[in-house]
Chain A
Amino acid sequence: MRKFTFNGVIGGGLIAALVITALIGVFWTPYDPSALGFTSRLAAPGAAHWLGTDEFGRDVASRLMIGARASVWIGCLTVAFAVVCGTLIGLISGYARGWVDGVIMAVNNALLAFPGILLALGLLAVFGANQYGIIFALGIAYTPSMARVVRGAVLSLREREFIEASRIMGNSEIYTMLRHILPNCLAPITVLATSMFGWAILSESALSFLGLGVPPPAPTWGNMLAAGRPFIEQAVWLGFFPGLCIALTLLGINLLGDALRDKLDPRMRGLK
């Protein structure tokens, strides 16, 4: 096995750190994340509170660790939802063509034309603002772009002769789709999925910021970022650290995604 590239190692390291932090947060945090401390409100980062405290005196580091769990969970499930649904829809649409494709793509384009965050807002209004409502709403908002990308890949693949070769061998359509078309779509799917993970965390932040995300006092990076806004001048760490966490996670995911795509593709092996 070839070693990962430098970028891949950095990305993998960042994501590993994130997952470990989130896991530790399940069992142990420096302070109780919801314990109020009126004597230490808006304390600057220091020995007692590594990343400072918020306006209620809660420990920012502890809250970030708990928040990581919610953010990662939401990111993973949203992406999983969009990948599974989008790939399925894209495969069917691209492979069936004809009127099936026409109908699916008409609905898909209508959804695409609708701003994702607005769609999610509307869905959240219906399903209620909680963790799974967010996952469902964002998943639906992201599915159309995944479906579109997969359909494009399928359309170009199905004209290739190895797909015809598979038909001539007598393989069923389902087998051909799963054995030959799907694996060859993996590259665009991986790339899109990793950027989606980033969008999901950001959108969750945005929704929390708008008050439609995970309701307080449960911490997520997004609602921490939102809560830090009024104090940006007195206590910059309130907004800075959640923002930094989001940025590093996105960076890690993107680097890891690129490395994974190259690693999964036999054509890229032996190059460079």
Chain B
Amino acid sequence: MTGSSLLSVRDLSLAVAHNGNQVVKNVSFDVGAGEIVGIVGESGSGKTLATRAIIGLMPPAVRHVGGTISYRGRDVLSLKDRDLRRLRGGEIGVVFQEPMTSLNPSMTIGRQLEEGLILHTKKSADERRADILDMLKRVGLSEPERALAAYPHEFSGGMRQRIMLASVMLLKPALLIADEPTTALDAVVQRDVMELMVELTKAEGTAVLLISHDLPMVARYTNRFVVMEKGVIVEQGTTEDILSAPEHPYTRKLLSSLPFRAAPRKLDMSRTPMVSARNIVVEYPGRKGLFRKQAPKRALHGVSVDIHVGEVVALVGGSGSGKTTLGRTIAGLVQQAEGEILFQGRERSADWRDYRLNCQMVFQDPYSSLDPRMTIQALVEEALRLVPDLDGAAKRKRALETLDEVGLGGDFANRYPHELSGGQRQRVAIARAIARRPKFLIADEPVSALDVTVRAQVLELFSDLQKRYGFSCLFISHDLGVVEQVADRVIVMQDGRIVEQGDRDRIFDQPQEAYTRKLLSAIPALDLNQTGGVTLKWRLEA
């Protein structure tokens, strides 16, 4: 925070043009040369908008109403388009959140990387090629020569984000703005990309402005960060100070919303398991053409899982590990090629009706799991439609009671899903699932689409309901933090196989397998202290 800072934002205020609502209010912060600074906030905090203003890419509906942004002493807001363009890319690089859409799908990687070099440097074609190959090697692409001629769809999300990073770092910018650079990636890949980004920028002396909702991640890589809420900076300081002694109540709320390990529970494991899946094999059919046949793709290679009465079993793993497929197979949405699924000791196909009554599911995306044309009450009542021994009035009463239990009492019943926030919708989805009083619940990433504080509330609700009704639960998640909070037992999956399973504390404290350790290295062990702060301990990969 010296006078010679690279970027200096002073009292920046931005407002929505047509109604004058201030979405960013008097925001001030500095980024020094070579420094990594974080901005932490939930959706709607204005963190993205504030950083868009730095590169002059505010949405047209937003107007600058006060304050200054200076980059190397120059006022960015008064720059002409021409000079702004020179600044973008050349001086200030940006990595966006969505690697699936930030690369042009119809251009080869080589052409896309070259574009910036042509625009901002006077290098010859050979020099450009050498630079690009060198950078692709540095971001960890094994065959940079081949990558030049490849198209974005040939790479995974993590690889694309590496390529994106390469394209930005090629121009050796003095400042890199990374807006949720790893949010769309799964935990392990997330960490690899972050490590790469920090390593590259450190080598080039590039300063980084890291914007994220993920407080532990920001804390891990920054020396200093800013906390934003509703367009206002509520707290800023060194990472250590904020973590150990947060001053603002919102910061404390953010920290206490982080998932902490609950006390282990004693469960009776001697009874017949509620659900057991034996040697499940699932295959996705290959394409059948007229002249060629593709072999079917195996998603699960003989997986066995037991879920005991009242137990919460977490299924974790990276994308493509088969955890979702296993969940959907147990739910009956996917037909297994081999293996059997027992419900209370009996093959479930012996009585599908009974299984359907007792097995419910909560989906990941609360925006698509509720029929937009039905009211909240109708949605929950529908779940009771096939329940025997309940008349219409009893069903209505049960639906309203259940809504009350998930904190959506009163006039929520007559609203439609689009009138609710993401967290409220997920509450409806949970109400719908538990209205039948199921014995078994499958929750597929139930909180990963939610903001940090909302996630904490929904998780708490989930745990309360689980204790009250004692249903068994298969909890599918890529977020080990969440798993640490809710699970009794953890099953780690990779490439359609179970790698390791055991009691939660055992898995988290003494992981045996390399893959489990790798997953765990992406999340911190948290300890809450008396002042409302936390200590983060990162587990090292052995």
Contacts and interface: CB of A to CB of B under 8 A. Distances in A.
A180 B363 CA distance: 17
A38 B388 CA distance: 77
Contacts of A164: 333, 361, 363, 369
A171 to B, nearest CB: 7
Given A161-B365, A162-B368, A168 B360 contact: yes
B332 interface: yes
Contacts of A269: 416
B370 interface: yes
Interface string B300-338: 000000000000000000000000000000011100000
A184 B371 contact: yes
Given A168-B360, A169-B356, A267 B333 contact: no
A170 interface: yes
B359 interface: yes
A270 B370 CA distance: 19
Nearest to A267: B418
Contacts of B385: 169, 171
Contacts of A97: none
A5 B492 CA distance: 56
Interface in A169-192: 169-171, 179-180, 183-184
A17 interface: no
Contacts, number: 64
A169 B352 CA distance: 11
A265 B333 CA distance: 29
Nearest to A165: B369
Nearest to B333: A164
Contacts of A169: 356, 360, 382-383, 385-386
Contacts of A160: 368-369
Nearest to B352: A170
A58 B266 CA distance: 95
A170 B386 contact: yes
Contacts of A179: 382
A188 to B, nearest CB: 14
Contact of A170 (B333, B353, B375): B353
A258 B218 CA distance: 48
Contacts of B353: 170
B373 A170 contact: no
Interface string B168-190: 00000000000000000000000
Interface of B: 331-333, 352-353, 356-357, 359-361, 363-365, 368-373, 375, 382-383, 385-386, 416, 418-419, 429, 432
24 contacts: A160-B368, A161-B363, A161-B368, A162-B368, A162-B369, A164-B363, A164-B369, A165-B363, A165-B429, A168-B332, A169-B360, A169-B383, A169-B385, A169-B386, A170-B356, A171-B382, A171-B386, A180-B371, A183-B371, A183-B373, A184-B372, A184-B373, A266-B418, A267-B372
Interface of A: 160-162, 164-171, 179-180, 183-184, 265-267, 269-270
